[in-house]
Amino acid sequence: MTASEEKFTRQTVYDIRTLTPSLFTFRASRDAGFRFRAGQFARLGVRKPSGCVVWRAYSMVSSPYDEFLEFFSIVVPGGEFTSELSRLREGDTLLVDKQAFGFLTLDRFPDGRDLWLLGTGTGLAPFLSILQDFEAWERFERIVLVYSVREARELAYQELIAGLKERDYLAEYAHKLQYIPVVTREAYPGALNQRITTLIENGELERAAGLELDPAHSRIMLCGNPQMIEDTRAVLKTRGMSLALTRKPGQIAVENYW
């Protein structure tokens, strides 16, 4: 099989940054033919010492217009994929499927006024891609980014988030974005301190945002821990909100990140 017939391309890893012992970010070169919508994921492959390749899905942090691909990863102790991925060094090869996947994209919502992006851990990744694209800022009147972690040191990409409002192409839309960090296992200045589901149930999240979660205006994206997604969907269901499907409009779009 020739390289053009393979379903993946070989890309070069660079700019590896360790955030905590279990969290890191990295960039890889991008094939000129690789296209994706903000919010989608790529299938990444790493080769084990045995020679076999292990594949996993990773949402892009980078925007669809960047010349590189950026990813945010957790290291799972003993994990077949992340253990190999965490051993990559700058200059090493990463396999990237030629096709992008996933439905955590804005076309899931044909309407809506307020966009809520609720993420835990590395589930922040697709939301950063969405926020670096122009569509969300143009379509929605308010954008609320809620990023929940256990410890404050796990709050990644704070500089990128803060700098969004300074980007020239977003300057006139900067007032639309509100960022609400959540740290559940320690007190941290400026952050809420309970699980996302609890913050919805007790109304604290809406008070912090100064905005109501309601079926008529709210469109909600969830990404992160599968249990968080399941629990949050159940809470939102009590508010009259349901999953947005191809033939059945709804208020919620999800991605199970691991």
- Measured between alpha carbons, how far is 257 from 120 in angstroms, rounded to an integer? 9
Bridge-based pairing of strands 252-256 and 177-183 is: unpaired
Question: What's residue 83's pLDDT?
Answer: 81
Instruction: Find how far residue 207's CA is from the centre of its chain.
Output: 24
Question: What's residue 247's pLDDT?
Answer: 85
Give yes or no on whether 8-97 and 106-256 have one common fold.
no
Bridge-based pairing of strands 41-47 and 53-59 is: antiparallel
What is the amino acid identity at position 40?
A: Q
Tokens matching residue 219: 């469109």
Question: What's residue 82's pLDDT?
Answer: 83
Asked if residue 242 lies in contact with residue 254, where contact means CB atoms within 8 angstroms, the answer is no
Question: What's residue 1's pLDDT?
Answer: 46
pLDDT tens per residue, the chain (258 residues)? 444 458 999 999 999 999 999 999 999 999 999 999 999 999 999 988 888 999 999 999 999 999 999 999 998 887 888 888 888 899 999 999 999 999 999 999 999 999 999 999 999 999 999 999 999 999 999 999 999 999 999 999 999 999 998 999 898 999 999 999 999 999 999 999 999 999 999 999 999 999 999 999 999 999 999 999 999 999 999 999 999 988 889 999 998 755
DSSP secondary structure code for residue 79 in this structure: -
Asked if residue 31 lies in contact with residue 12, where contact means CB atoms within 8 angstroms, the answer is no
Instruction: Find how far residue 198's CA is from the centre of its chain.
Output: 21
- Measured between alpha carbons, how far is 164 from 33 in angstroms, rounded to an integer? 27
Question: What's residue 258's pLDDT?
Answer: 55
User: Rounded to 5 degrees, what angle do the CA atoms 51, 54, 57 make?
Assistant: 155
Q: Give the domain ranges of the chain.
A: 8-97, 106-256
- Measured between alpha carbons, how far is 123 from 104 in angstroms, rounded to an integer? 11
DSSP assignment of 57-102: EEE--S-TT-SEEEEEEE--TT-TTHHHHTT--TT-EEEEESS-B-
Question: What's residue 125's pLDDT?
Answer: 97
Q: Is 27 left (phi over 0), alpha (psi -120 to 50) or beta?
A: beta
CATH: 2.40.30.10, 2.30.30.100, 3.20.190.10, 1.20.120.450. Which one for 8-97? 2.40.30.10
163 three-class SS? helix
H-type alpha helices, the chain? 82-85, 125-131, 135-139, 158-163, 196-201, 204-209, 226-237
How many residues in total does the chain contain? 258
User: Rounded to 5 degrees, what angle do the CA atoms 36, 40, 42 make?
Assistant: 80
- Measured between alpha carbons, how far is 10 from 31 in angstroms, rounded to an integer? 8
CATH number at 106-256: 3.40.50.80
Residue 49: HSE in the Cβ half-sphere, 13 Å Cα cutoff: 2
What is the amino acid identity at position 163?
A: G
